[in-house]
A and B are shown apart, each in its own frame.
Chain A
Amino acid sequence: MLHSIYATPMSRTEEAPVYNRIAQARAALGLSRQDLAAAVGVHYQTIGYLERGEYSPSLSLALRIAQVLEQDVQTLFSIHPFPEN
């Protein structure tokens, strides 16, 4: 019973991971995490969580990130792991 109390996931990432290439796209544009965070309107730590795959963004945030990074959303995000370069 106690386990079920504590089992409330902290984010959707734990149930259904979303992979992304935010770090590569951000680096290609020469943006820092702070720059990207300010452009999409989130805290700078949230960009770190996204890049490490520890948080899955809402559709709205994913679209905003894709717009700022000048990419299609499906190029940046996937429910399958991206092939290693």
Chain B
Amino acid sequence: MAENKPRRIFWFEGVTRGEIERSLNDTRPSALRRQGPRRALVATTAVVIAALALAIFIPQVKVKTYTELPLIAMCLVLYLNLRKSVRHLSDAPNELLDERQIALRDAGYTVAYRLLASLSLLYVGLIALITPDGALAIHVHSSSWWNILMSYLMLCGTLPSMVLAWRMQSEQME
């Protein structure tokens, strides 16, 4: 029987073997290996994601558009750095991790899921706030749904990395 070739690209996880292996074996010193800078990165990401959702309350469409685009760009940059700060643990498939790393990742996902369930209620509240026939019916531009959707998708994508980055201890020199 022919041996299976090791997979180079993990489509479902959105990562490559090389990317994960490079990240896991990177011994270069980096501020992102310490808990303080990592937590600052998490806090900044949370603020940017919240700002993206709250941008719906900007009344001028032009100002709103000019605010959204930098926020989305910042979100993406922060997301990439968050992944790097946790050595891509949150996205890596089982076959590239050892048992400690898998346990760490899975514990992070458990917390991320609970947080996401709670935070989803805030988004539901925000939608209720702007629904035209709702009790509060705050008048916002019709493109506001896009802001809320983008913010929510960013939250879904980044939350596992955010939780891991927040909870992981500073790395010790081995």
Q: Which residues of A contact B (CB under 8 A)?
A: 5-6, 8-12, 33, 41-49, 52, 54-55, 57-58, 61
Within 8 A of A (CB), among B66-101: 97-101
Min CB–CB distance B48 → chain A (angstroms): 22
Interface of B is mostly: helix
- Assess whether B172 is interfacial by the CB under 8 Å rule: yes
Contact (A49, B100) CB under 8 Å given A8-B107, A9-B107, A10-B167:
yes
Min CB–CB distance B164 → chain A (angstroms): 10
Min CB–CB distance A54 → chain B (angstroms): 8
Assembled-state Cα–Cα distance A44/B107 (Å)? 21
Determine which of A6, A33, A42 lies in contact with B100 in the assembled complex, contact meaning CB atoms within 8 Å.
A42
- Assess whether B126 is interfacial by the CB under 8 Å rule: no
A46 contacts across to B, CB distance below 8 A: 98-101
Contact (A11, B114) CB under 8 Å given A43-B24, A45-B171, A48-B172:
no
